[in-house]
Structure 1
Amino acid sequence: MQFALIDDIAVHYDFRPAGAGASDAGPVIVFINSLGTDLRIWDEVKTRLGSDRAVLTYDKRGHGLSGIGATPYTIERLAHDLIGLLEKLSIARAVLCGLSVGGLVAQGVHALRPDLVAGLVLSNTAHKIGTAEMWNARMEAIGKDGLASILDTTMPRWFTPAFRVPDNAAYAGYRAMFARQPLDGYIATCAALREADYTAAARAITVPTLCIVGDQDGSTPPDLVRELAGLIHGARFEVIAGAGHIPNVEQPAAYTDLLRQFLQQIPPHIPQGD
């Protein structure tokens, strides 16, 4: 396991350089996990990508094996964590692929340090997610009864009925992943989502951008993700069939295919000025 001290926490990450013989000119692909998950949600996509590109996954603050630190959070705080990790690893150019709150973190990094961002994959996310009333109600509920108390209302938004069957061991595993996330970190991230509005920042995005959503996403439905794509000049919008809020888990082949196609649009080198 790999850890880096970033400000007040230790961040758990996994960095896989490009394999021998692969070109190292392309940007590093950075995957940012969603609320209530950790870096393992990207395992199948990483496997399918192979070793021809460098890949970084990490547990955002308050999730997985990363520290919790001071609470509550803001998206800017989460973005600064990723910027610090990129600097620690001497990564000067990246394609950020963020899922749900991870997509807001990706937008936050672009707003703060556009020089680091070669492209954006904004997956199952938006410029603004939910309402203050919704997030406050969720924080109150889990503060009283824990994360397991909202499993049966959360999982139908995450996964399709075909995935949520008793004999699917992976479904049982993702339920366990959700329930075992640090409660304080989850609540602090809900607070960040409650306050986040990246509408203006989305309009300022100029790098190549791909917006992805599952056709059965119950957390950030297709119309919401389409709205985000409409704010970004030239953004591409794609719907993955047979998937909910986490299509990289339910439909990893389709997800990876879209990612590969998008990466071909990213220039291998940083353009040089006159």
Structure 2
Amino acid sequence: MPFLYSSGVTLHYRIGGRAGKPRIAFTNSLGSDMRIWGTVEQILRYDFEMLFFDQRGHGLSQNVVAPYRLDDLSGDLLMLLDVLGWEKTALCGVSVGGLIAMDAALKDAARVSYLMLFDTAPRIGNADLWAARIETVEADGLEAHADSFLARWFPPSFAEEWPEAWQGWKRMLQATPKEGYMATCAALRDADLTASIHRLDLPVLLLAGTEDISTPPSLVQQMTHDIRDSRFVTVPKAGHLPMIDASEAVASEIRSFLVA
């Protein structure tokens, strides 16, 4: 599995799909890693060349112990694309990954061909919410609150219908370095692209799970007022991470958006 060091951080990444096909780079949510896209990758593997990576402080990427800024996280993505020589690339991000994708597109519009923003917003939560989350995780660790955090990822029925999957994703969350999780919370605390997203001048797919309580569909849909060339869709019965609990529907939306 490839690792890349640049600008003081080592990132773990992987390229999947078929070389020579249209390119997509995926960005993940807080407390997760590239594995959340696994089923979507399998469905799309013949249609696209795909880049997956663990954001700093997550997965196998370096746990940089310092508060992160959105600029750091989007800079990591653009650095990866630059080193790999990926020029015209579609970006697809969920939750904080959506913010990262937005910021990258605002910084380097010439590199980004399409933008797919899942269960995200230009401002997620507020400073008090993220300050409280940082304090909670610092005091108790992730393990103590893993079930309550997962309850914000998935629909209410998920744990009962797929108990093995619930435990598996819980282990992924618990394995996230506490420092990396808190540092990303700091980036979310300070990030606000509300006044900037009107500058996104490219086709944008806005997608929301109907059962998402972290970034409800109404919040995601608000971006259609500011992004001229945007399309909003919902995924029925899906939560905050629809690529996990509604993989086929998400893959279908990606394919139809990029192939249309």
Whether the TM-score (by the shorter chain) exceeds 0.5 is yes
In the alignment, which residue of structure 2 is the partner of 1:176? Answer: 171
In the alignment, which residue of structure 2 is the partner of 1:6? Answer: 6
Name the amino acid aligned to 1:188. Answer: A
**Structure 2 alignment gaps of length 5 or more:** none
Shift of 1:234: 2.2
Shift of 1:167: 5.4
Q: 1: distance between equivalents of 2:88 and 2:35? A: 23
SS for the counterpart of 2:86 is: coil
Q: 1:110–1:241: structure 2 CA closer, same or farther, 3 Å change rule?
A: same
2:36 matched to 1:35? no
In the alignment, which residue of structure 1 is the partner of 2:206? Answer: 211
Counterpart contact for 1:68–1:185, Cα < 8 Å: yes
Q: 1: distance between equivalents of 2:21 and 2:140? A: 49
Matches within 5 A, 1:34-53: 34-53=29-48
| Cα offsets for 1:157-211 (capped at 9, x unmatched) | 1111221117521111011111110110000000000000101221110110000
Q: 2: distance between equivalents of 1:124 and 1:135? A: 17
Shift of 1:69: 2.2
Counterpart contact for 2:65–2:179, Cα < 8 Å: no
In the alignment, which residue of structure 2 is the partner of 1:268? Answer: none
SS for the counterpart of 1:200 is: coil
How many residue pairs get aligned? The number is: 260
Counterpart contact for 2:114–2:202, Cα < 8 Å: yes
Shift of 1:255: 0.4
2:69 matched to 1:74? yes
In the alignment, which residue of structure 2 is the partner of 1:83? Answer: 78
Which region of structure 1 is more displaced relative to structure 2, 146-155 or 161-170? 161-170
Name the amino acid aligned to 1:8. Answer: G
Shift of 1:155: 1.7
Q: Find the partner of 1:195 among 167, 190, 199.
A: 190
Q: 2: distance between equivalents of 1:3 and 1:50? A: 22
Name the amino acid aligned to 1:86. Answer: L
Name the amino acid aligned to 2:205. Answer: L
SS for the counterpart of 2:64 is: coil
Q: 2: distance between equivalents of 1:155 and 1:214? A: 15
% of aligned pairs identical? 39
Q: Find the partner of 1:153 among 144, 148, 156.
A: 148
Name the amino acid aligned to 1:234. Answer: D
In the alignment, which residue of structure 2 is the partner of 1:162? Answer: 157
